[in-house]
């Protein structure tokens, strides 16, 4: 159900922060509150990562130091990297800024799927806590944030440390994918009337591309992590040479994710800077179109540069040349951005506040990091620097001097909007100079140390290398930076406690968020704005669009005199996330807990599915226009299916890579049964027919027929699963187990995951069928059946590929 806010009360509820008590934060689905939760959580973890970093710097301050043991140092550098990337920069950029600013900038009342948004946050929190709980059970993860195989195999890293890391990352991956899917749909489908793509604020462009990158980058990582978990728990050999496999597979799957990830971290920062620099230069952004295209181009190219992380692995001259070229090419759109920022400042009437200072420092430091990045595009040079402190300097200038500084600029910029308070400029300048000087003291000398040969990831070094001076210098710098962060925290507290309130538009801003009160009311916009140009709010205030400030749609007035409809808070997101965490805990501790977790997840999904059926449907209900005749839920479903395609592509790719490389038989050619599988294929194809007939019946309002077709579809799905169970059992009896050879492990994993999807589909369809008995799937909710159908057909098309590629082709070409 929805919360209906009486129109007469709209003007009275001006502050999203003050609605309800603590419990209201646990069940909130307001994007602004979720953004605040992301921000607080990320800053908390940044504190942890900072403490880890300072302890590492104390250890490295002197040669032959024993402040930390090698083991503890390994844990700290692993968790510092993992934390900063997965728990700080990424959730700050997308989760915090994406939630706080993006919906306001596009003139939306919330994101497309508010409860999914809450779910993303709670999964993020529980996943992070799960990973950090490793310290309570024998120590933290210690194999590096990149978790290179085969160091991560059970033989080399026994215990549960890597288990927590791998399962934690899988859980966090769910959060990232759900959150990005939500943002993608929101931006595609929920922009204010008149806001074309080329009128979107450039920050929104960057969030859009970063969200797409998450959707395409995380599935390969998830597959890589699943292989790792299987190697450690079940004894497969995906990354072990024992069975003819190669650890290099991990590097590919990891860096297929890893380099887009760099831009997932950087793009929100680019977006923030593209807002703050024009605002405080009192000029429009230079080259808006070029910036938008450059953003899209970065997203596209970033998927083809992963190999530059692997020059040292010996990929061969052709792959080296290709990745070298693509890496140099991606510098072009990035260069366009830097040029635009600099050109925007040219002749500007600067507002020299803290946000602007951080933005300028970002441009300089990010450019330094970018230039050293281009150096690494050359394999010959990369081989000299790889594994040295030069690389550490490079990526800290990109992510620390880049993204983190941009985020600080963004916090100072949007703080008045979020909180209704101003931040103290004197404290702001103080924390800027401390952090900026400390940062450069810490990381610039690492270039020198790296070129001098100091390897990264070492916990100590000998006095004879003459690295002591710069290491001490860096440690002092790190503490200066730490003091700067403390001053920043003090500035936040001081601001929250001060009585000074912020006006709605303290910066004379250009974008729509500045047109509403600070802090915004829970419904954001009392009247949805019409957009006629870029810099929409600026045009409204100063330009020709003043006359068009009339609302696009009057808030609906129902029979009860209700006005703006917002979705109600929900307990299910936090329940579902807790269930997912239990699944992870059970995998490590006690398997029965996993089953409890699965049950909670299932019930929570059902609860969410039937709790509130209409939110997210065609946005014209909210907006009063028909410019985008798309249903947000359907856009989301197709996006999810597309992302799932990459999951299966990674599984299929692995199967194809290992095909014919078994050291022992039996292999595909000797064991696969075509007649049985042909029958199963026929069954699955016919189930798709029944599924589409079910949908047609529900759309006609013939619920009984639709239900029968649904039962028929699920029944054929069960027949298919029965065939698969028979096939697996037969193979097991013939000695082909998951551990037996490469064919066994890749076949069972690929076909098994497909079977798992069929099983989930069967459960989904049966749930719909039984719900229809209670009248919960009426004609007007036939879309619910269509979503189940889309998923079912997707499972079908994956099988079409598997049947041809694995069964028919492999039987002929396989060993």
Partner 1 sequence: MSTAQASELAHEHEEAPRASTRVYVEIAVVLTVLTVLEIWAFYVPAVQPILIPLLMVLSGAKFALVVMFYMHLKFDHRAYTAIFGPLLTLGAFIVIALMIILAYFLGAPPTA
Which residues are marked as active site? Answer: 80, 110, 145, 175-176, 259, 261, 263, 274, 308-309, 334, 337, 456
Nearer to partner 1, 151 or 656 (CB): 656
DSSP 8-state symbol, 112: S
Could you give the 3-state DSSP secondary structure of residue 668?
helix
Q: How far is residue 215's CA from residue 206's CA, in Å, rounded to a whole number?
A: 14
Considering only residues 690 to 719 of the shown chain, the ones binding partner 1 according to CB under 8 A are 691-693, 696
Q: How many Å is the maximal CA-CA distance in the chain? A: 84
CB of 248 to partner 1, least distance (A): 6
Considering only residues 416 to 475 of the shown chain, the ones binding partner 1 according to CB under 8 A are none
Half-sphere exposure of 596 toward its Cβ, with a 13 Å CA cutoff? 13
CB 278 within 8 A of CB 285: yes
CB of 775 to partner 1, least distance (A): 21
9, 70, 371, 674: which one contacts partner 1 (CB under 8 A)? 674
Q: Which two tokens stand for residue 675?
A: 């007649």
Q: Does 642 bind partner 1 (CB under 8 A)?
A: yes
259, 394, 510, 659: which one contacts partner 1 (CB under 8 A)? 659
Considering only residues 251 to 280 of the shown chain, the ones binding partner 1 according to CB under 8 A are 252, 256
Q: Which two tokens stand for residue 607?
A: 């609860």
Q: Does 654 bind partner 1 (CB under 8 A)?
A: yes
CB 75 within 8 A of CB 162: no
Nearer to partner 1, 69 or 678 (CB): 678
Helices and strands (H, E) in the chain, number of each type: 29, 2
CB of 618 to partner 1, least distance (A): 5
Instruction: Select from 26, 189, 28, 116 the least CA-distant residue to 609.
Output: 116
Q: Does 513 bind partner 1 (CB under 8 A)?
A: no
Q: Does 329 bind partner 1 (CB under 8 A)?
A: no
Tell me the window of 82-90, 226-234, 246-254, 359-367 that interacts with partner 1 (CB under 8 A): 246-254
CB 757 within 8 A of CB 724: no
Tell me the window of 147-155, 307-315, 391-399, 523-531 that interacts with partner 1 (CB under 8 A): 307-315
Q: Does 556 bind partner 1 (CB under 8 A)?
A: yes
DSSP state letters, 3-44? EEEEHHHHTT---GGGSS-HHHHHS---HHHHHHHHHHHHHH
Q: Does 22 bind partner 1 (CB under 8 A)?
A: no
Q: Does 296 bind partner 1 (CB under 8 A)?
A: no
336, 652, 758, 784: which one contacts partner 1 (CB under 8 A)? 652
Q: Does 673 bind partner 1 (CB under 8 A)?
A: no
Helices marked H in 306-423? 317-345, 354-375, 379-385, 389-398, 405-419
Q: Does 161 bind partner 1 (CB under 8 A)?
A: no
CB of 662 to partner 1, least distance (A): 7
Nearer to partner 1, 24 or 813 (CB): 813
Angle formed at CA 576 by CA 571 and CA 582, multiple of 5 degrees: 130
Nearer to partner 1, 179 or 402 (CB): 179
CB of 667 to partner 1, least distance (A): 8
Q: Which two tokens stand for residue 4?
A: 């209906």
104, 208, 226, 249: which one contacts partner 1 (CB under 8 A)? 249
CB 315 within 8 A of CB 263: no
CB of 812 to partner 1, least distance (A): 6
Q: How far is residue 303's CA from residue 617's CA, in Å, rounded to a whole number?
A: 32
Tell me the window of 338-346, 450-458, 570-578, 624-632 that interacts with partner 1 (CB under 8 A): 624-632
Angle formed at CA 9 by CA 6 and CA 11, multiple of 5 degrees: 130
CB of 643 to partner 1, least distance (A): 7
Q: How far is residue 594's CA from residue 579's CA, in Å, rounded to a whole number?
A: 8
CB of 719 to partner 1, least distance (A): 16
448, 451, 596, 630: which one contacts partner 1 (CB under 8 A)? 630
CB 162 within 8 A of CB 227: no
Interface map 789-808 toward partner 1 (x if CB under 8 A): xx--xx-xx--xx-xxx--x
Considering only CA atoms, give the Rg of the chain.
27
Q: What does the chain come to in residues?
A: 815
Work out the number of other CB atoms within 10 angstroms of the CB of residue 485: 18
Q: Which residues pair with 749 in a beta bridge?
A: none
Q: Does 375 bind partner 1 (CB under 8 A)?
A: no
Instruction: Select from 434, 428, 436 the least CA-distant residue to 412.
Output: 428
Q: Does 307 bind partner 1 (CB under 8 A)?
A: yes
Nearer to partner 1, 593 or 656 (CB): 656
315, 361, 522, 777: which one contacts partner 1 (CB under 8 A)? 315
Tell me the window of 324-332, 365-373, 629-637, 755-763 that interacts with partner 1 (CB under 8 A): 629-637
Backbone angles phi, psi at 566, to 5 degrees: -120, 145
CB of 121 to partner 1, least distance (A): 25
Give the relative orientation of helices 425-451 and 389-398 as an angle to the nearest 10 degrees.
150
Using CA atoms, how far residue 100 sits from 190, 415, 646, 663, 766, in Å, is 16, 10, 29, 54, 38
Nearer to partner 1, 404 or 691 (CB): 691
End-to-end, the C-alpha distance of the chain in Å comes to 58
Nearer to partner 1, 763 or 797 (CB): 797
CB of 364 to partner 1, least distance (A): 34
Q: Does 676 bind partner 1 (CB under 8 A)?
A: no
Q: Does 811 bind partner 1 (CB under 8 A)?
A: yes
266, 330, 601, 635: which one contacts partner 1 (CB under 8 A)? 635
Nearer to partner 1, 153 or 622 (CB): 622
Q: How far is residue 797's CA from residue 793's CA, in Å, rounded to a whole number?
A: 6
Tell me the window of 8-16, 129-137, 275-283, 675-683 that interacts with partner 1 (CB under 8 A): 675-683
Instruction: Select from 359, 371, 434, 437 the least CA-distant residue to 398.
Output: 371
CB of 715 to partner 1, least distance (A): 16
Nearer to partner 1, 75 or 240 (CB): 240
Q: Does 182 bind partner 1 (CB under 8 A)?
A: no
Q: Does 681 bind partner 1 (CB under 8 A)?
A: yes
Q: Does 629 bind partner 1 (CB under 8 A)?
A: yes
Backbone angles phi, psi at 6, to 5 degrees: -55, 135
CB of 278 to partner 1, least distance (A): 30
Work out the number of other CB atoms within 10 angstroms of the CB of residue 343: 14
- Contacts of 36-39 with C-beta under 8 Å, sequence gap 24+, read 36/96, 36/100, 36/418, 37/121, 37/125, 38/91, 38/92, 38/95, 38/96, 38/99, 38/121, 38/124, 39/92, 39/95, 39/96, 39/100
Q: Does 779 bind partner 1 (CB under 8 A)?
A: no
- Give the count of residues interacting with partner 1 (CB under 8 A): 81
Tell me the window of 442-450, 490-498, 509-517, 643-651 that interacts with partner 1 (CB under 8 A): 643-651
Nearer to partner 1, 372 or 386 (CB): 386
Q: Does 188 bind partner 1 (CB under 8 A)?
A: yes
Instruction: Select from 116, 122, 221 the least CA-distant residue to 178.
Output: 116
125, 166, 216, 265: which one contacts partner 1 (CB under 8 A)? 216
DSSP state letters, 427-481? HHHHHHHHHHHHHHHHHHHHHHHHHTTPBTT-S---GGG--HHHHHHHHHHHHHH
CB of 249 to partner 1, least distance (A): 7
Q: Which two tokens stand for residue 715?
A: 């029944």
Nearer to partner 1, 23 or 674 (CB): 674
């Amino acid at each position: 159900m929805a919360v209906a806010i009486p129109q007469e009360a709209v003007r009275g509820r001006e502050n999203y922060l003050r609605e309800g008590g603590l419990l209201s934060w646990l069940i909130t689905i307001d994007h602004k509150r979720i953004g605040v939760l992301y921000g607080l959580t990320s800053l908390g973890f940044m504190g942890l990562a900072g403490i880890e970093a300072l302890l590492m710097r104390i250890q490295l301050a002197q040669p032959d130091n024993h402040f930390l043991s090698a083991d503890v140092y390994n844990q700290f550098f692993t968790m510092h990297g993992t934390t900063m990337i997965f728990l700080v920069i990424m959730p700050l950029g997308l989760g915090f800024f994406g939630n706080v600013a993006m919906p306001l900038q596009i003139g939306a009342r919330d994101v497309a799927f508010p409860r999914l948004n809450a779910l993303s946050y709670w999964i993020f929190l529980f996943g992070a806590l799960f990973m950090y709980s490793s310290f309570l059970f024998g120590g933290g993860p210690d194999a590096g944030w990149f978790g290179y195989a085969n160091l991560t195999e059970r033989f080399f890293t026994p215990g549960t440390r890597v288990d927590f890391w791998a399962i934690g990352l899988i859980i966090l991956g769910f959060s990232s994918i759900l959150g990005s899917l939500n943002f993608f749909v929101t931006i595609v489908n929920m922009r204010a009337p008149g806001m074309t793509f080329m009128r979107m604020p450039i920050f929104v462009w960057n969030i859009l591309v970063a969200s797409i990158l998450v959707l395409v980058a995380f599935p390969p990582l998830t597959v890589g992590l699943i292989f790792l978990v299987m190697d450690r728990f079940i004894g497969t050999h995906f990354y072990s040479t024992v069975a003819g496999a190669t650890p290099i597979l991990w590097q590919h799957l990891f860096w297929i994710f890893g380099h887009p990830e760099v831009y997932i971290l950087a793009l929100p920062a680019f977006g923030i800077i593209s807002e703050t620099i024009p605002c405080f230069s009192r000029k429009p952004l230079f080259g808006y179109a070029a910036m938008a295209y450059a953003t899209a181009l970065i997203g596209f190219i970033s998927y083809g540069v992963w190999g530059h992380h692997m020059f040292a692995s010996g990929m061969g001259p052709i792959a080296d040349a290709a990745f070298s070229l693509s890496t140099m090419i991606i510098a072009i759109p990035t260069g366009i951005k830097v040029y635009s920022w600099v050109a925007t400042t040219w002749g500007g009437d600067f507002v020299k506040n803290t946000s602007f200072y951080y933005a300028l420092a970002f441009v300089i430091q990010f450019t330094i990091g970018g230039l050293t990045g281009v150096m690494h595009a050359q394999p010959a040079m990369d081989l000299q620097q790889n594994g040295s402190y030069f690389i550490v300097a490079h990526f800290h200038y990109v992510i620390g001097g880049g993204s983190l500084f941009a985020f600080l600029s963004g916090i100072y910029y949007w703080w008045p909007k979020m909180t209704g308070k101003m931040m103290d400029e004197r404290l702001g300048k103080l924390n800027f100079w401390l952090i900026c000087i400390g940062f450069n003291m810490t990381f610039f000398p690492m270039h020198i140390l790296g070129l001098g040969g100091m390897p990264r990831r070492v916990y100590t070094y000998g006095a004879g290398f003459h690295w002591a001076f710069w290491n001490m210098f860096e440690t002092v710098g790190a503490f200066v930076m730490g003091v700067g962060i403390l001053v920043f925290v003090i500035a936040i507290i001081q601001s929250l406690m001060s009585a000074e309130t912020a006006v709605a538009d303290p910066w004379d801003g250009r974008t729509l968020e500045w047109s509403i009160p600070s802090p915004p009311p829970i419904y954001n916009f009392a009247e949805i704005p019409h957009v006629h140009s870029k810099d929409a709010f600026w045009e409204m205030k100063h330009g020709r669009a003043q006359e068009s400030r009339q609302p696009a749609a009057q808030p609906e007035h129902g029979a009860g005199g209700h006005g703006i409809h917002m979705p109600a808070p929900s307990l299910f997101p936090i329940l579902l996330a807790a269930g997912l965490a239990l699944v992870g805990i059970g995998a490590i501790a006690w398997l029965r807990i996993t089953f409890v977790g699965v049950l909670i997840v299932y019930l929570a999904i059902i609860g969410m599915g039937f709790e509130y059926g209409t939110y997210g449907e065609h946005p014209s209900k909210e907006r009063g226009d028909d410019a985008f005749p798309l249903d947000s839920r359907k856009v989301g479903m197709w996006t999810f299916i597309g992302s799932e395609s990459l999951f299966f592509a990674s599984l299929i790719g692995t199967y194809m890579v290992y095909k014919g490389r078994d050291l022992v038989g039996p292999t595909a050619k000797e064991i696969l049964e075509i007649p049985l599988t042909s029958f199963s294929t026929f069954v699955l194809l016919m189930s798709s027919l029944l599924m589409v007939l079910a949908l047609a019946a529900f759309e006609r309002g013939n619920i009984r027929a639709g239900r029968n077709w649904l039962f028929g579809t699920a029944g054929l799905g069960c027949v298919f699963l029965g065939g698969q169970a028979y096939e697996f059992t037969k193979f097991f009896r013939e000695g082909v187990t998951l551990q037996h050879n490469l064919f066994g492990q890749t076949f069972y994993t690929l076909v098994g995951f497909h079977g798992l999807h069929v099983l989930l589909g069967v459960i989904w369809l049966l749930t719909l069928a039984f719900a229809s008995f209670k009248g919960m799937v009426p004609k007007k909710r036939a879309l619910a059946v269509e979503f189940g159908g889309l998923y079912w057909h997707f499972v079908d098309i994956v099988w079409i590929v598997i049947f041809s590629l694995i069964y028919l082709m492999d039987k002929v070409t396989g060993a």
